[in-house]
Amino acid sequence: MKLPLEIEIIKLFNSFHALSELLFVVIINTNYGIVTFKKDKNLPIFMRRVALAQAPYSEVVFGREKNAKGANPPLGLYSLKAYNNNIADIRVFDGETYDSFNNFIGDIEDFQPELIGITTVSHSYERSKDLARYFTEKALTVAGGPYATFRDQECLEDFDVVVRGEGEQTLRELIRRVPFQKINGISYIDNGKFVRNLDRTRLENLDEIPLIEWGDQEFFNYSRPSVFDNRSKTGYIITSRGCAYNCGYCCSNIMWDRIRLRNPENVAKEIARLNENYGIDYLKFWDDTFTLRSNSNLIPILNELKSRGIRFTCNARADTISEKKLAQLADAGCDKIFYGCESSVPEIRKELGRKMTNEQLASAFHLTKMFGIHTVGSFIFGSPNEKEYDIEKTIEFAIDIDPDKVLFNILTPHPGTPIYNYAIARGLIDHYKVDTSKWQGEPLGIPTISKHLTREQLQKMKFEAYKRFYGRQEYLINQLKKAQSLDDLVSIQNIVRTYL
């Protein structure tokens, strides 16, 4: 917690900082001319209030499976806020934490933003558009995130500006009102003409982004302690950007260019702060692949977790795991690892760009369980050339390796992914527009691209797969034996209710 004197000093510093920023804006605008806008807006010379918003998405994604409203903070928006907080009053509004869309919009309106930045993923795009349209006359509307990055031209039908890729520095220049022509990484319309400026070079050093300052209420939305045994208060953290692989259904590699890691000391500082200031004793690492780092980067992070008794979960690739690494993770408090498996049929896995073997997958699950770490296995149905019997084989494989939890997903061609380009090139899809009334895919609003199976067949196979996996007597007995708390029992009950 900061002392009052410290807060005063920061405020004073910020005022000086704001003044120098203002001078900078005046100089820049005098040199380069005034910013051009698609629509007439009465915008100030310096953006003072910036709203960063995430439209609600759960209903679109999870449909009737939805049950965890507001459980996941939009870390991208909080990072944008942390980076730019010293030049404007920035607030994050998360539609997932509101009971109704109207209340959500009402709160943003009360704040009277001069710039509203909206994060986009394919499945929330329709709602993001609704939100942007509401502020068209009132604020500069900016879209960012994976969907906008790869569909900039389409987004400009509803937004003034699109920020492509990493957003921290680009947003800073928009707040400063640097002329659009001078801002790398944006797309916009100038005199009816679509303009895509040069890409922005990514931040060299991720530690330049200040740590997120969570408001108490804000934090509570995402980190409710367990109602049953008060065992864990969960925090969320990302310690890297990008991935070294190039799986067909994922845009990480293109979105972030190359893998960049935060320094372990910087990560340890964030862990300490989450623990000391917010009482966090459980952490979710949202890195694409947490295990894709050298020992010299990993060990200091694990030491910090261990010394504070923080348990954690992370994502890993089966081929980045070894017995030694698993021992280190388990010793530091790792209690769950998420592995993408996708398919057990080599040709289908190849189609998905997953260069790993069934042996690697089976061994990763075996070893992880050996160290007492829970496993989640994720599988994808509906690759272009996948047939019903391929899916059958994958379900059998899932039962064989027996994760504690499974996810069966239907392949979705998200813009910016190799599989999207493949599907366009072979005429399996046109450049679709997200339309929840037209595409009953998964997530809703996006088409599927199987050559052999309809959406309905895939949906049916998915639910049958869950039934077969979770309906096994030995699975349920095993999970009941492993249960350590009321939370674990409720989780088993949820599985039974949802799938059996």
Residue ranges binding ligand B12 (CB under 6 A): 57, 61, 72, 74-76, 79-80, 117-119, 121-124, 142, 144-147, 163, 166-168, 171, 238, 250-252, 286, 288, 409, 414-415, 443
Binding site for ligand SF4 (CB under 6 A): 243, 245-247, 250, 252-253, 288-289, 317, 340
If the CB atoms of residues 126 and 442 are measured against ligand SF4, the closer one turns out to be 442
If the CB atoms of residues 183 and 364 are measured against ligand B12, the closer one turns out to be 183
Work out how close the CB of 285 gets to ligand B12 at its nearest, in angstroms, rounded to a whole number: 10
Match 């009816």 to its residue by tokens. 192
Q: Which partner from the list ligand SF4, ligand B12, none does 76 bind, CB cut-off 5 to 8 Å by kind?
A: ligand B12
If the CB atoms of residues 83 and 245 are measured against ligand SF4, the closer one turns out to be 245
If the CB atoms of residues 98 and 290 are measured against ligand SF4, the closer one turns out to be 290
Q: Which two tokens stand for residue 33?
A: 């001319």
Work out how close the CB of 252 gets to ligand SF4 at its nearest, in angstroms, rounded to a whole number: 4
Q: Which partner from the list ligand SF4, ligand B12, none does 317 bind, CB cut-off 5 to 8 Å by kind?
A: ligand SF4
Task: Please state at what angle helix 323-332 crosses helix 358-370, rounded to 10 degrees.
Answer: 40
**Neighbouring residues of 350: CB distance < 8 A, sequence distance ≥ 6:** none
Work out how close the CB of 162 gets to ligand B12 at its nearest, in angstroms, rounded to a whole number: 9
If the CB atoms of residues 169 and 344 are measured against ligand B12, the closer one turns out to be 169
Work out how close the CB of 79 gets to ligand SF4 at its nearest, in angstroms, rounded to a whole number: 18
Q: Which partner from the list ligand B12, ligand SF4, none does 253 bind, CB cut-off 5 to 8 Å by kind?
A: ligand SF4
Q: Which two tokens stand for residue 466?
A: 């869950």
In angstroms, the CA 261 to CA 283 distance is: 18
If the CB atoms of residues 74 and 377 are measured against ligand B12, the closer one turns out to be 74
Q: Which partner from the list ligand B12, ligand SF4, none does 313 bind, CB cut-off 5 to 8 Å by kind?
A: none
If the CB atoms of residues 336 and 468 are measured against ligand SF4, the closer one turns out to be 336
If the CB atoms of residues 162 and 356 are measured against ligand B12, the closer one turns out to be 162
Work out how close the CB of 243 gets to ligand SF4 at its nearest, in angstroms, rounded to a whole number: 3
Instruction: Give the sign of the dihedral formed by CA 383, CA 420, CA 55, CA 278.
Output: positive
Work out how close the CB of 170 gets to ligand B12 at its nearest, in angstroms, rounded to a whole number: 6
Work out how close the CB of 25 gets to ligand B12 at its nearest, in angstroms, rounded to a whole number: 18
Work out how close the CB of 106 gets to ligand B12 at its nearest, in angstroms, rounded to a whole number: 20
Work out how close the CB of 354 gets to ligand SF4 at its nearest, in angstroms, rounded to a whole number: 7
If the CB atoms of residues 2 and 133 are measured against ligand B12, the closer one turns out to be 133
If the CB atoms of residues 123 and 374 are measured against ligand B12, the closer one turns out to be 123
Match 């239907």 to its residue by tokens. 410
Work out how close the CB of 319 gets to ligand SF4 at its nearest, in angstroms, rounded to a whole number: 9
| C-alpha separations of 191 from 39, 135, 486 in Å | 10, 21, 61
Q: Which partner from the list ligand SF4, ligand B12, none does 166 bind, CB cut-off 5 to 8 Å by kind?
A: ligand B12
The answer to whether 413 touches 375, Cβ cutoff 8 Å, is no
Q: Which partner from the list ligand B12, ligand SF4, none does 448 bind, CB cut-off 5 to 8 Å by kind?
A: none
If the CB atoms of residues 262 and 414 are measured against ligand B12, the closer one turns out to be 414
The answer to whether 499 touches 466, Cβ cutoff 8 Å, is yes
Q: Which partner from the list ligand SF4, ligand B12, none does 492 bind, CB cut-off 5 to 8 Å by kind?
A: none
Q: Which partner from the list ligand B12, ligand SF4, none does 245 bind, CB cut-off 5 to 8 Å by kind?
A: ligand SF4
If the CB atoms of residues 269 and 371 are measured against ligand B12, the closer one turns out to be 269
Q: What is the 3-state secondary structure (H, E, C) of the chain?
A: CCCHHHHHHHHHHHHHHHHHHHHHHHHHHHHHCCCCCCCCCCCCCCCCEEEEEECCCHHHHHHHHCCCCCCCCCHHHHHHHHHHCCCCEEEEEEHHHCCCHHHHHHHHHHHCCCEEEEECCHHHHHHHHHHHHHCCCCCEEEEECHHHHHCHHHHCCCCCEEECCCCHHHHHHHHCCCCHHHCCCEEEEECCEEEECCCCCCCCCHHHCCCCCCCHHHHHHHCCCCCCCCCCCEEEECCEECCCCCCCCCCHHHHHCCCEECCHHHHHHHHHHHHHHHCCCEEEECCCCCCCCCHHHHHHHHHHHHHHCCEEEEEECHHHCCHHHHHHHHHHCEEEEEEEEECCCHHHHHHCCCCCCHHHHHHHHHHHHHCCCEEEEEEEECCCCCCHHHHHHHHHHHHHHCCCEEEEEECCCCCCCHHHHHHHHCCCCCCCCCCCCCCCCCCCCCCCCCCCCCHHHHHHHHHHHHHHHHCCHHHHHHHHHHCCCHHHHHHHHHHHHHHC
In angstroms, the CA 29 to CA 318 distance is: 52
Q: Which partner from the list ligand SF4, ligand B12, none does 286 bind, CB cut-off 5 to 8 Å by kind?
A: ligand B12
Q: Which partner from the list ligand B12, ligand SF4, none does 167 bind, CB cut-off 5 to 8 Å by kind?
A: ligand B12
Work out how close the CB of 342 gets to ligand SF4 at its nearest, in angstroms, rounded to a whole number: 9
Work out how close the CB of 15 gets to ligand B12 at its nearest, in angstroms, rounded to a whole number: 25
